[in-house]
Structure formats: C-alpha cells, structure tokens
C-alpha cells in the first residue's frame, strides 16, 4: 500500500512549524504505525534529509512514551490502542494521513512530533505518592484490602501517562490523568491519611499547567487504557470535601 | 594484563547469618554527615528509582539521571508476569531457603550462593514495602494478597498486579522518588544520558552526560556512582526490550576498568510473536502462562503449506510432548526455545516466513469451553490480534523465541561494587544472582532488592570511609578531558558522512549476534562471528550517516553511540561463549550436550564467573575468573524428561 503523509515538522519550541508531505511506499499491513514511520525515516536519511523526530520506547502500549495525532485523533482510529500498537491494516491504499504532535499548552513541542510532558511529573511530585519510607513497612497481609477496592484502584493505576487525554480535550485539561492517580491512591486504605492534602496539592498543581474541564468527555474516548471519567467526579468530590472540612479531622471522617 | 584481583567480599559464617553479620559490621554514617555526601544514581528503573529514593530518605544528597523524559518510562514498566517473594502466605512449604535453592538451581549453578541467599531473604521486605506504597497487587476476596505459580516453581510465591506488575512496581518506586524530589533531596535530571564514567587515582569520581534535548555536555561529581541502567538484550537488535534500552552506560564503565562478567549468559524467551518482515522493530512477549493451556506443534512434513485446520492430527508433531513426556509443553524456557529453533531450522516452521511454531488452544477450548479459555487469556489474545490480525480462539497462535533478558553484566562484589572503587551496578546491569539462567518473576525482585535493601547499606559503608573529603570539582582536568572526549566523539560521528543509518548497522549486527551467539552456539560459528563483527564494525565506522547537529534533539546521534557499544559488546558475547566450553542455562554449546540433547555442564573446569577486563580498542579483553563455591546447594544435572 502507498500513503501520502502530511507530517508536522518543527525545528524547536520557538519555531513556527509547518507540514511537509512525504510518500510512504511499500507499506505492509503487518507494519505498526511507527514501523511505517521508521521506514520513511530510513529513506529520508538515505536521501540526505533529516529524519522525523518522534518518541517511542516499549512499543507494547505500556510505557506511555509514544503518542501522535493521526488524522486529528489522539493515537489514531483504533479504540483502546496506543500509536505504537496501531497497525497499518487500519489504513487503505492511497489514503492521505495527517500526523501531528499532541497539541496542548501544557505540552510544548520539543521538535517535530516530540512534546514535553514534564507537567505530568510536576503533578505527581506535588502529592502523587503515599509516604512510606523504605524499611518502615509492616507485613503486607496485615492490611486487608477488599478485592473490589483493590480492583478499582488497579483500574485507575493502569494509566500510562501518555497525555492523549490532554491532547484530545478541547480545553487541554489534565483532569483524567490527575484523577486516575488520585483514585489509585485514595481508594486504598494506605492512602487515607494523606488523602485530602494529596487531592488539594495535585489539583492545584494541575491548574497551574492545564486548562479547565468542561465535561466534553473526549479524554475518556481517547484514552488507550480506557480509563473512565468517573474518576474525575471522585476527584472533584474529594477536592470539595477537603476545601470545606478541616483536615485535622480527616482521620475521623469519610 | 593488570593486577585485578576479583575479591567477592562474601562475609564469613553460615549462609543464613551472612547478611545480618555484614550489616552489623558495616560502618555507619551519622545523620548530620550524610548530607555531606553526594551520590549519583544513573537510571530510574526499579533498581535506580528504589535506590535514589531510599538514599535520599536516609539523608544523602542524590542526583538522579535518566535519558527518558520521565523516570516512569524506564523499561521496568513493561514487565508483565509478577515478582517472587518467599512469604509462604500459601502455606505450601515455601521458605527463604527454598527460594534460594530454586534460584541457584534455576541458574544452573553459575551464581554466587551468598548473593542469592540475601536476595531470597530481602524478598519478603519488598512486598511489605510495595504494599505500603500503594502498589495494587491482586487480592483474594477476603482481602489477602493473591499469589500465582510461575516458571516451573512448585510453590505459589509470585505476587502480581494483573498483567502489569512491572508497571505498578515502577510507579511505586517512581512516586517515592518524586516525593524525595519534592522535598529537595533528589535532584532529578531527565533527558540526560551518561556517556562516560570519570575516574581519578583509580576511583570513580563522577560522570559526563549529554542532554538529549539541548545537546549540552556536562560533568557531575559525586562520592559514589550507581549504574542502574538495565540489560543489553538489544544486542540482538530484535528483542522484547524497549527500543531505547542499551548497554552504553555499562560499556563505558567497562572501558574505564569495570570488569564485564558472563556476557554470553542471555535468556531467550520461548513465547514471543514471530517477526513479520524486515521492517520489524521489536518483538512482543506473550506471557508464558499460555503454555498451561496451549499445545505446541508444527507439521510433520517439511514445507507443509496447508492452513493449520487442514492439517490432520496424524500429520502434526507435538514435539515438546514427544520429546519431554513428563513436562511436555511446560518444559523450561531454554529447552522450549531450543526445540522451536530445531524444528524451524529443519524447515517445519509455520506462518508466511516459516519462522514460528503453533501454540494451539483448540483442545482446551473443546475441553473447557470458549468462555473459560477467554477469561484466562482474553487480554493476551486481544494483544495478539492487534498485532497479527488473527484470533487465537479460531486460528492457532504463532510463536517464536526472542531475546528477553541478560544475566551477564558488570561484575560486582557482595556490596554490588564493580572493580572500580566507588562505582556500583544494580539491577539487570550487574551480573549477580541469576547465574546462567533467570527464573521467571525474579528480575523485578532483584532490581528492588538491590535498590531498596542492599545498596543503601553497602554504599553507606563505602562513604563512611570518605568522611571529610569533598567531591572532585568538575573543573578538574579529569572531567575537562572526559567532556572533551565526548564532544570529539560526537563531532566524529557527525562528520563520517556515509550512506547508511545507525539503525541499519544495528540490524545487521543483530543478525550476526543472533545467528552465531543466539539460542545455540558452536565453535565454528563463534569464530566466524569474531571475524565478521569487526569487519562490519569497520564498515559502520566508515559508512554510517548521522545527519543534523550536536545541538538540539538528534535521535540518530543518540543511536550511533549506542550501536558502537553494541558492536564491542557483541564481540565480547561471542568471545565469552567461545571460551565457555560447556553448556549451562541460556548458554548452549552444540558440542556440549548429553545423549538426549540437553545442556551438559562441565563443573570441573567451568564453575567460575568469567569476568573480562578491557584492554583498549582493537585488543582482546583479558579473562579473570571468580571461582564459585557451592557449600549449600549441590550441583546436579537438570532433567525434564
Ligand atoms: C517484556 C518483558 C517482560 C518482563 N517481565 C518480567 C516479569 O514478569 N517478572 C520479572 O521479574 N522480570 C520481568 N522482566 C525483566 C525485568 O523487567 C527487567 O529485568 C527489570 O525491570 C530491569 O530493571 P532495571 O532497573 O535494572 O533497569 P531498567 O528498568 O531497564 O531501567 C534502566 C534505566 O536506566 C536508564 N539508562 C540506561 N542507560 C542510561 C544512560 N546511558 N544514561 C542515563 N540513563 C540511562 C534508563 O533511562 C532507565 O531509567 C521482563 C522484561 C521484559 C523485556
Ligand atoms: S511506545 Fe510505549 S506505549 Fe507506545
């Protein structure tokens, strides 16, 4: 199959950027989307032109490094699938494919299709942890965790931090990412003592970088791990509770 | 030849007491003095993130480096199956001693007993630590932790978080690390790649890095440096490792005097999705658990092109069941891998490229029903279908072995220190603990053991001896020269002006290493590789093309240096494999097998760790031997018939 690619090229964060058109020839169904781009890059290098910069690492859909806007969709057309797991059989001969980086104020373009997602790290740094210095832990089975709670925490913890939710959101909001981390930790017994402080700290840090949520729901649609927006409601509830209540009493309530 | 002495520094006394005695005998640094020490931690996988967080909690000044854009992207994130620990929660007879025994035996008696015992001991603390951090391990309905059995062990000691155990353990360690960053105790440098280790008067005093976003080359000094930089499975080009995993940090340390041990001990995992064509960039692992209900077969006839469902029973060869009637499809990783290679080499492989074997669920489906089979493996089937467009409920899966893990690495003593004082290696980057073969679910355990519970003590013992000494300033000539060398090398790559990409040479190199130093090795092949690799390297050095500049993002430039190191390493893997005239674990020398085709160890002559010393470009390394002593577990021949 042969494709026409319209690819965003941008030299540096300050460069205005533009689209360039390339032909991808000899594309096979079994190739992954990124392998198709690898082949385009090989040809560019042979022709003495600088290859397209894009990010990837595990190519198994778990590290969250990859992420492209493909024809305007975060991670492309296949639901629940990262860019690296998308295969070319989802495209057809002669098609024109537009490839762009994540577009969001919080994720400045570094070069071409690579963006800077360190705002996510800043949110985690603000409170996305349970304080448990090494060596102080009691026996793991002394903490009983009902299976449904453990399962729900795991659903939230499956977030890979790719940023598709932000890229898909018309407001560039970071709610799905932040709420998934909060839900993971706030649903567990171990996470209770820091629950409200964590929620405030993470939400307030999020607001420094990201747009606000107006319930479009695009984030859930784009999430390659299909993390539901219910977690956002939970986050909002905890945030409100925390703002209204005196945290010194939080050991007694909820 | 230099005067390297391999002193393992294993403590005296009964094996059960060694670690406790050692901890008691180690020097302590008082809290006020800890602040005066700077520790550089390179890598933020399980080993690095755990070590950096723990050292910071203790009060040391930590600087932490990763070439990834976030610590959470480290390759540890991809581990699926689980993590072992001798908790004996199932009351099925597990114990520290049994985990120790299984690991030494699984490693085919090529690991250091004392290290393995310590690993088994601290395994129980790891689970406690991870649960306290909020790692959502699978639970039973009563709320207790669930376990599964894994990799041939006879007890259930594997803790897991769905098929994402590595992800959850790494997020736990990452979060602990980020907390220390927020407290100002860890200075985190992402997108920062180590390109050299700096020594002064024989001691490690710091590192030189290149910022992969800006291109800036910079020096960092520390009282101690910890390399937690992962394994070298990408020497084969195609592997289950992440695309950016590489050997550069370990290799640059090797060139600075750290011995590299057991390079030929590599693990090939039997159940991966076969390559589909030349453009394949990496291989995907399919969990080993599939072998519980899938039957492995190939056609009896050569070049049988009929679709699987048109090949009648009598024309199928269930070769594992035939060769190993008692273990059948559950034969250990190395044995199952080699058997698949044999049938494909004979021309009985399946699939368009004839490079796979069938893993067939039809019998289980008729026995257990579609629902049960799908419940067990549905997520894996979906992943497989996304890649191959075939539904394993209808068409048998195709699998083939792939490079997965490397047991070899930087030689370390009991304290995890390399042969360069002040330079440590943790996690998959070191050679310790797994001998010639690693058991499933034991790499995560080792990474976290090294990072949370071993290095924080042993590094302190070393630092205590440096009290009152400042770090070597980065203006010192040792740093200035090392930085210049890095800049010169960068410039050299940019000026070659050849015709082929670094990726091309990596792929060509990988083919050689895979063909001659993969699942089966022999003298002729290894000698051939040892003449072909240098020839290809020469072409690479003259004909590689790196476009762009040294400033700003340049992925080809990052790649070219890594490929250069893989060339040297590939050569060492072959040299090590050629030296080791025996078969053990993942190292199978065709000349050394039993009458029924199993690995034949030679304990008389090869019960040692082979640690190689760098002698400069173009000169073969020198072999040093650490003799292995087995006081507790008696070496025996493995049999799986
Ligand atoms: C697909 C797959 C599944 C697996 N499943 C399991 C399992 O179920 N159970 C199990 O026990 N094991 C499993 N393993 C093995 C296990 O995941 C790894 O051995 C382990 O995670 C390695 O951890 P690490 O901390 O040593 O290194 P890594 O996680 O590889 O981290 C390396 C770190 O070093 C950094 N780094 C490397 N070089 C440099 C440099 N030059 N400069 C700066 N930074 C650098 C990287 O950025 C990264 O942060 C699996 C492996 C694979 C490939
Ligand atoms: S490259 Fe890791 S999720 Fe795509």
Residue A202 has pLDDT above 70, yes or no: yes
Buried residues in B559-584 as b, exposed as e (16+ CB within 10 A): bbbbbbbbbbbbbbbbbbbbebebbb
Cβ pair B443, B151 in contact under 8 A = no
Q: Shortest CB distance from B179 goes to which of A60, A129, A161?
A: A129
Does any ligand 2 atom lie closer than 6 A to the CB of residue A130?
no
Task: Give strand pairing partners of B200.
Answer: B203
Backbone angles phi, psi at B185, to 5 degrees: -95, -15
User: Rounded to whole angstroms, what are the CA distances from B440 to B287, B332, B444?
Assistant: 10, 10, 9
**Mean pLDDT of the region A213-233:** 97
In B252-324, the DSSP E strands lie at 260-261, 266-272, 295-299, 316-317
Predicted confidence (pLDDT) per residue in B280-338, tens digit = 999 999 988 788 889 999 999 998 999 999 999 999 999 999 998 888 888 878 888 99
Collapsing DSSP to helix, strand or coil, B298 comes out as strand
* Chain A 151-180, residues with CB within 8 Å of chain B CB atoms: 151, 153-154, 157-158, 160-161
Rounded mean pLDDT of chain A?
95
* Mean predicted confidence (pLDDT) in B395-402: 96
Q: What is the mean predicted confidence (pLDDT) over B77-95?
A: 94
For residue B20, is pLDDT > 90?
yes
d(CA A232, CA B526): 58
Interfacial A residues in 179-208 facing B (CB < 8 Å): 184-185, 188, 190-191
- Neighbouring residues of A134: CB distance < 8 A, sequence distance ≥ 6: B50, B53, B54, B57, B129, B176, B452, B453, B456
CA distances from B516 to A72, A93, A193, B511, B574 (A): 46, 39, 57, 8, 8
What residues in A contact B547, CB-CB < 8 Å?
A: 45, 48-51
Q: What is the pLDDT of residue B38?
A: 98
**Are A87 and B387 a contacting pair at CB < 8 A?**
yes
Q: Determine the distance separating the centroid of ligand 1 and the alpha carbon of B428, expressed in angstroms.
A: 7
Hey, is the C-beta of A58 within 8 angstroms of any chain B C-beta? yes
Q: What is the pLDDT of residues B438-458, one digit of tens each?
A: 988 999 999 999 999 999 999
Can you name the residues that pair with B62 across neighbouring β-strands?
Answer: B39, B186
Q: Contact at 8 Å (CB) between A238 and A184?
A: no
Q: Which residues of A103-139 are buried (b: 16+ CB within 10 A; e: fewer)?
A: bbebbebbbbbbbbbbbbbbbbbbbbbbebbbeebee
Subunit contact A35:B281, Cβ cutoff 8 A: yes
Tokens of B475: 């203006």
What secondary structure does DSSP assign to B159-189, as a single string?
E-STT-HHHHHHHHHHHHHHHHHHTTSEEEE
Q: According to the model, what pLDDT value does residue B2 have?
A: 62
pLDDT for A14 equals 95
A157: nearest Cα among A140, A137, A174, A177: A177
From the CA of B281, which ligand is nearest? 2
Give residue B94's pLDDT.
96
Does B213 sit within 8 Å of A129, measured CB to CB?
Answer: no
- The bridge status of strand B266-272 relative to strand B397-406 is antiparallel
Q: B184: left (phi > 0), else alpha (psi -120 to 50), else beta?
A: left
**CB-facing half-sphere around the CA of B83: CA atoms within 13 A:** 37
A29 touches chain B (CB under 8 A): yes
Alpha-carbon distance of B271 to B374, in angstroms, equals 18
Q: Tell me which residues of B are annotated as active site.
A: 333
Q: Cβ separation of B132 and A160 shorter than 8 Å?
A: no
**CB contact A28 to B (< 8 Å):** yes
* Region A101-124 average pLDDT: 98
Least trusted range by pLDDT, from A68-72, A168-172, B140-144, B327-331: B327-331
Task: Please give the backbone phi and psi of residue B423, each rounded to the nearest 5 degrees, phi first.
Answer: -110, 120
Question: Are B143 and A144 inside 8 Å of each other by CB?
Answer: yes
Residues with Cβ within 8 Å of residue A189, at least 6 apart in sequence: A143, A145, A149
Going along chain A from its start, the domains and CATH numbers come out as 3-111 (3.10.20.30), 117-132+139-253 (1.10.1060.10)
Instruction: For residue A248, name the pLDDT band (cuts at 50, 70, 90).
Output: low
Of the candidates A116, A117, A188, the beta carbon closest to that of B134 is on: A188
Shortest CA distance to B56 belongs to which of B238, B203, B188? B188
Which member of B125, B144, B171 has the closest CB to residue A144?
B144
pLDDT, mean of residues B207-225: 98
What are the C-alpha distances in Å from B490 to residues B82, B210, B215, B411, B561?
40, 10, 10, 28, 8
Using CA atoms, how far apart are residues B593 and B583, in angstroms rounded to an integer?
A: 7
> Which ligand 1 atom is at minimum distance from the Cα of B240?
53
Average pLDDT over residues A37-66: 97
Domains in chain B, start-ordered, CATH in brackets?
268-401 (3.90.700.10), 477-606 (1.20.58.100)
- Residue A97, pLDDT above cutoff 90: yes
Q: Which atom of ligand 1 is nearest to the CA of B73?
A: 49
Section B361-382 average pLDDT? 90
Distance B170 CA to ligand 1 centre (A): 10
B234, B281, B551: which to substitute to probe chain A, counting the most A Cβ within 10 Å?
Answer: B281
Measured from the alpha carbon of residue A65, the closest ligand is 2
Convert the pLDDT of each residue in B576-619 to its tens digit: 999 999 999 999 999 999 887 788 999 999 999 999 999 999 89
Each residue of B502-555: pLDDT tens digit? 999 999 999 999 999 999 999 999 999 999 999 999 999 999 999 999 999 999
Cβ of residue A84 lying under 6 Å from some atom of ligand 2: yes
pLDDT level of residue B152 (50, 70, 90 thresholds)? low
Backbone phi, then psi, for A100, in 5-degree steps?
Answer: -130, 165
Q: Which atom of ligand 1 is nearest to B44's Cα?
A: 49
Average pLDDT rounded to a whole number, residues A51-58: 98
- Taking contacts as CB-CB distances below 8 angstroms, the residues of chain A near B386 are 78, 81, 85, 87
Give B260's contacts (C-beta < 8 A, 6+ positions apart): B250, B251, B254, B408, B409, B410, B411, B572, B611, B612, B614, B621
Percent of chain A with pLDDT over 90: 95
CA of B514 to the centre of ligand 2 (A): 25
| Closest-approach residue (CA) in chain A for B239 | A58
Q: How confident is the model at residue B375 (pLDDT cuts 50, 70, 90)?
A: confident
Percent of chain B with pLDDT over 90: 89
Neighbouring C-alpha atoms within 13 Å toward the C-beta of A230: 9
A112: left (phi over 0), alpha (psi -120 to 50) or beta: left
pLDDT of residue B389: 93
The beta-carbon neighbor of A134 closest among B72, B129, B279 is: B129
Inter-chain contacts counted by CB atoms under 8 A, chains A and B? 216
- C-alpha B186 – ligand 2 centre gap (Å): 27
The pLDDT-based confidence of A254 (bands split at 50, 70, 90) is very low
Query: What is the Cα–Cα distance from A126 to B183, expressed in whole angstroms?
Result: 10
CA of A84 to the centre of ligand 2 (A): 5
CA of A81 to the centre of ligand 2 (A): 10
Q: Do B167 and A133 touch (CB under 8 A)?
A: no
Q: List pLDDT tens digits, range B45-84.
A: 999 999 999 999 999 999 999 999 999 999 999 998 899 9
Q: Which of A38, A48, A63 sits opposite B242 (nearest CB)?
A: A63
CA-B49 nearest atom, ligand 1: 25
Query: CB B127 to CB A140 under 8 A?
Result: yes
In this model, does residue A253 exceed pLDDT 60?
no
In angstroms, the CA B529 to CA B513 distance is: 7
* DSSP H or E stretch at residue A3: strand A3-9
Please report which ligand is nearest the Cα atom of B416: 1
pLDDT at A249 over 80: no
Instruction: Tell me the C-alpha distance between B615 and B609, whole Å.
Output: 19
Among A67, A100, A97, smallest CA distance to A222 is for A67
Closest residue, chain B, to A59 (C-alpha):
B242
Element (H, E) at A115: strand A114-115
Q: Closest-lying ligand to the alpha carbon of A57?
A: 2
């Amino acid at each position: 199959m042969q494709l026409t690619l319209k690819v965003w090229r941008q030299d540096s964060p300050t460069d205005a950027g533009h689209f360039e058109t390339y032909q991808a020839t000899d594309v096979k169904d079994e190739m992954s989307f990124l392998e198709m781009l690898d082949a385009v890059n090989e040809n560019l290098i042979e022709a003495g032109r600088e290859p397209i910069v894009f990010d990837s690492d595990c190519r198994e859909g778990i590290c969250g490094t990859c992420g492209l806007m493909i024809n305007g969709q975060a991670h492309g057309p296949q639901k629940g699938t990262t860019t690296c797991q998308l295969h070319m059989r989802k495209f057809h001969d002669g098609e024109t494919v537009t490839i762009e980086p994540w577009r969001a104020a919080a994720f400045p373009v570094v070069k071409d299709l690579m963006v800077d997602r360190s705002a996510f790290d800043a949110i985690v740094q603000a409170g996305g942890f349970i304080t448990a210095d090494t060596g102080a832990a009691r026996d793991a089975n002394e903490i009983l965790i009902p299976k449904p709670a453990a399962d729900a925490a795991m659903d939230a913890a499956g977030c890979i931090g790719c940023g598709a939710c932000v890229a898909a959101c018309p407001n560039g909001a970071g709610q799905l990412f932040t709420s998934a981390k909060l839900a993971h930790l706030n649903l567990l017994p171990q996470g209770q003592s820091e629950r409200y402080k964590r929620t405030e700290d993470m939400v307030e840090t999020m607001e420094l970088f990201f747009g606000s949520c107006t319930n479009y729901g695009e984030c859930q649609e784009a999430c390659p791990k299909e993390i539901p927006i219910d977690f956002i409601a939970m986050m909002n509830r905890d945030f409100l509770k925390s703002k209204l209540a005196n945290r010194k009493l939080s050991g007694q309530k909820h | 030849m230099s005067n390297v002495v391999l002193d393992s520094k294993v403590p005296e006394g009964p094996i059960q007491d060694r670690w406790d005695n050692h901890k008691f005998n180690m020097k302590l640094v008082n809290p006020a003095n800890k602040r005066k020490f700077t520790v550089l931690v390179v890598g933020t996988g399980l080993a690095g993130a755990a070590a950096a967080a723990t050292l910071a909690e203790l009060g040391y000044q930590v600087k932490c480096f990763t070439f990834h854009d976030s610590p959470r992207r480290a390759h540890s994130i991809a581990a699926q199956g689980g993590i072992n620990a001798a908790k004996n929660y199932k009351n099925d007879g597990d114990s520290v001693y049994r985990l120790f025994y299984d690991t030494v035996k699984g490693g085919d008696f090529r690991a250091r007993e004392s290290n393995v015992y310590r690993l088994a001991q601290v395994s129980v603390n790891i689970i406690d630590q991870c649960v306290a951090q909020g790692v959502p391990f699978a639970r039973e309905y009563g709320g207790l932790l669930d376990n599964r059995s894994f990799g041939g062990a006879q007890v259930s000691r594997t803790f897991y978080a769905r098929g994402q155990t590595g992800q959850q353990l790494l997020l736990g360690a990452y979060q602990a690390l980020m907390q220390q960053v927020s407290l100002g105790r860890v200075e985190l440098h992402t997108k920062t790649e180590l390109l050299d280790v700096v020594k002064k008067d024989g001691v490690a005093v710091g590192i030189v890095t290149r910022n992969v976003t800006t291109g800036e080359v910079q020096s960092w000094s520390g009282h101690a440096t910890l390399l937690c930089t992962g394994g070298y499975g990408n020497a084969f080009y195609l592997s289950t490792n992440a695309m950016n995993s590489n050997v550069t940090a370990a290799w640059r340390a090797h060139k600075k005097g750290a011995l590299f041990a057991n390079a030929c001990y590599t693990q090939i995992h039997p159940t991966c999705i076969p390559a589909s064509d030349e453009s394949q960039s990496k291989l995907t692992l399919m969990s080993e658990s599939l072998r519980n209900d899938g039957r492995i077969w190939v056609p009896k006839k050569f070049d049988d092109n009929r679709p699987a469902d048109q090949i009648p029973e009598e024309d199928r060869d269930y070769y594992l069941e035939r060769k190993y009637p008692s273990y059948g499809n559950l034969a250990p990783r190395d044995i199952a891998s080699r058997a698949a290679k044999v049938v494909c080499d004979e021309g009985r492989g399946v699939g368009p490229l004839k490079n796979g074997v069938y893993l067939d669920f039809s019998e289980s489906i008729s026995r257990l029903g579609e629902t049960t089979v799908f419940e067990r493996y549905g997520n894996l089937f979906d992943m497989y279908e996304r890649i191959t467009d075939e539904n394993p409920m209808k068409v048998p899966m195709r699998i083939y072995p792939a490079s997965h893990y490397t047991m070899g690495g930087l030689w370390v003593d009991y304290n995890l220190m390399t042969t360069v004082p002040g330079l440590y290696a943790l996690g998959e980057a070191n050679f310790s603990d797994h001998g010639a073969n690693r058991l499933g679910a034991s790499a995560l355990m080792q990474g976290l053991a090294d990072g949370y519970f071993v290095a924080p003590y042993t590094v302190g013992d070393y630092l205590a001896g440096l009290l009152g000494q400042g770090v070597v300033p980065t203006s010192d000539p040792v740093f200035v020269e090392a930085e210049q060398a890095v800049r010169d090398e960068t410039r050299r790559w940019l000026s070659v002006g050849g015709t082929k990409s670094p990726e091309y040479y990596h792929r060509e190199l990988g083919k050689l290493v895979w063909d001659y130093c993969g699942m089966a090795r022999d003298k002729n092949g290894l000698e051939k590789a040892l003449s072909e690799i240098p020839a290809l390297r020469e072409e690479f050095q003259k004909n590689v093309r790196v476009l762009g500049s040294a400033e700003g993002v340049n992925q080809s430039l990052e790649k070219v240096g890594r490929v250069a190191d893989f060339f040297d390493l590939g050569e060492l893997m072959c040299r090590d494999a050629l030296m080791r005239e025996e078969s053990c674990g993942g190292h199978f020398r065709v000349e050394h097998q039993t009458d029924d085709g199993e690995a034949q160890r030679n304990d008389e002559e090869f019960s040692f760790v082979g640690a190689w010393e760098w002698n400069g470009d173009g000169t073969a390394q020198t072999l040093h031997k650490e003799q292995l002593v087995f006081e507790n577990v008696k070496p025996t021949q493995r049999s799986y018939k």
